[in-house]
Structure 1
């Protein structure tokens, strides 16, 4: 059975992670999260934290 999880941040789908033999691998679904593409994480929570960090680093629109 395949272990895969969707990573969502603030109603945005950042990507999915898929379990392989020793880690969870990230697959980006939005350009903002492309820097995480292929990266390995120990847990789904670690992947979510990394995606949240990317989103928080992004400049907020003024207006």
Structure 2
């Protein structure tokens, strides 16, 4: 009975996958935090761009 338990504990086949999943989760949490802090600034950039495009005459050729 001890041999299968030792084999299970020594098996590290999924270790790399778990490490990559943790890295992706941390990056996602960081991006969400940054985008939450900058959402007003990002919205202002899009609003200014939209307003600028709306003021350009359509027949400028």
Structure-1-length-normalised TM-score:
0.30
Q: Which has the higher contact order (CA 8 A, sep 6+)?
A: 1
Larger radius of gyration: 2
Structure richer in strand, relative to its length: 1
Structure-2-length-normalised TM-score:
0.31
